[in-house]
Amino acid sequence: MPTLTSDPRFAAMTFVVIDFEGLTPAGRPAEPIEVAALALRPRQGQLAEVGRFEALMRPPADVPVTARDVQLKGITQRMLDSAAPAAEVMARLNARLMAPPYRLVAHHASTEAGIIARQAAHCPVLASTPLLDTLRLAKAVLPGLRSYGLDSLLGHYAIPTPAGRHRAMPDVEVTTQVLTRLLDEGVSAGRWSTLLELDMASGLQPARPPTTPGAEQVSLF
């Protein structure tokens, strides 16, 4: 990516590819049960890994793991019973972010943004970091695809589906491969050469943390 890395803002950025696996109880937002993140820095014209993080998270007691969850993700209730709660895990991940600036990267990034916003009290750096959405990048670079889901993009680029698909770290690793291909294609097509152009094509601002009636009352009175 020689054109992108010649942009000082892009060259100074750490890109954190992030993915959550979650449970979706009826009538409630998704509860995260696993997170993975891969930190990338521009080095010699490429994005090089500079760190990674992954952890399971214990959901609330009233949000059980279903048989379908086990079949799809391979994560069992027993695995989660010994895990730390989301608040602790998100605080640990947040503590790793000590050298800004950052951009979070995710596929269909609004999902990750929503989960992070609901954990904002425990991960303020993450919760204030803008995102790049690889789904939006793909729509800009690859018009006309029948689907822009992650599996479709893996097929388009002949990237092997990982054995642990639908676990957080394998999904992060293949999203990173898709990101690299999309950035290269966008540069070749003249669609972007700066971080600003990437933000315009696929950027999302952090989601606003939800408020509760009690929190609104404190702010009003």
| Tens digit of each residue's pLDDT (9 = 90 or more) over 19-54 | 999 999 989 999 999 999 999 999 988 999 999 999
Assigned fold of 2-213: Nucleotidyltransferase; domain 5 (3.30.420)
**What pLDDT was estimated at residue 2?**
55
135, two tokens: 């789904």
What are the residue ranges of helices labelled H in the chain? 2-5, 8-11, 67-73, 77-81, 86-95, 109-118, 124-127, 134-141, 150-156, 168-188, 195-202, 213-220
On whether the CB atoms of residues 89 and 21 are closer than 8 A, the answer is no
Beta strands in the chain (DSSP E): 14-23, 31-43, 46-56, 102-106, 131-133, 203-204
DSSP category for residue 221: -
**Which residue stretches of the chain have pLDDT < 70?**
1-2, 211-221
Q: Determine the pLDDT at residue 35.
A: 98
> pLDDT tens, 90-112?
999 999 999 999 999 999 999 99
Report domain extents, the chain: 2-213
Q: For residue 218, what are its two tokens? A: 């404190």
pLDDT value for 121: 97
Is the separation of the CB atoms in 82 and 174 below 8 Å? no
In the beta sheet, which residues pair with residue 103?
A: 15
